[in-house]
Structure 1
Amino acid sequence: MRSEMLSSILSDLNGSSADIEASAVLSTDGLMMDSLLPAGMDEDRVGAMSAAMLSLGDRTAEELARGKLEQVLIKGDHGYILMTYAGPEAVVTVLTKPEARLGLIFLDVKRAADAIQKIVM
């Protein structure tokens, strides 16, 4: 049942914007809970990379006195990667197109993260 609820939230998130290409929910240690990734994209790799970036982001925010980390944003030639905490146990990772309107995506991801937090707690 939890898996179905997570799938529904990710499906709604991906459907909220044509600029979202993929999304996933991971535990904070990088284990995949659910995902809507393109064919050929390795879930384990996405999980490992997300966990590594969040760990580095947590430490950086702490060391540079920026408070508790909320999200990590990476911009590449082919789009953005956004990782947002969904409570203390989970993370939402979203891959977007390069021309994505980030303001709207931040809002949609925050909404999804709030819903996911209620499920995984």
Structure 2
Amino acid sequence: MAINVDKLNHILQNFVSATNDVQGAALVTPDGLSLASTLPVNMDEERVSAMSAAMLSLGERIGGELSRGSIDRIYVEGNDGYGVLSSCGSDAVFLVLASKAVKQGILFLEIKTALSELKLVMT
């Protein structure tokens, strides 16, 4: 079954525009290829996609080695905000970029909702 890329892009665009302090989002394959994205213009989509897939893969391996079970999310905190990586089933990685002002609890809830929508389109 073919993936509806237009629907994926629509979900990402709605997520970014409707969620306070979210600056961008992308859905990538575990191999690091972009399926859909709404990233800031100054970001290299191919590089971000490859790094996102690699980060989640490495995080899953670390979680296993540390006996922490399956990984729910990985996030990177920097001076200018957050990058949150979540597994979207076995076929995709969901990346969200948020500003430092974001309320993390609300962000994680919104990510969970978006993941549900994305998974429906992916199946």
* TM-score normalised over the length of structure 2: 0.93
Query: Which letter maps to 1:18?
Result: N
Which of 43, 47, 50 is the aligned partner of 2:49? 47
- SS in structure 1 opposite 2:97? strand
Which of 70, 73, 94 is the aligned partner of 2:72? 70
Query: Which letter maps to 1:67?
Result: G
Gap regions ≥5 residues in structure 2: none
Alpha-carbon distance in 2 for matches of 1:42, 1:119? 25
* Partners of 1:84 and 1:110 within 8 A in 2: no
Alpha-carbon distance in 2 for matches of 1:106, 1:12? 16
Alignment of 1:1-121 (within 5 A): 2-121=4-123
- Say which is worse superposed, 12-21 or 78-87, in terms of deviation: 12-21
Fraction of identical pairs, as percent: 36
- SS in structure 1 opposite 2:54? helix
Residue-pair matches, total: 121
State the Cα distance separating 1:40 from its structure 2 match.
2.2
State the Cα distance separating 1:11 from its structure 2 match.
1.3
Taking only aligned residues, the RMSD between alpha carbons, in angstroms, comes to: 1.2
Gap regions ≥5 residues in structure 1: none
Q: Which runs of 4+ in 1 moved over 6 A?
A: none
Alpha-carbon distance in 2 for matches of 1:51, 1:73? 13
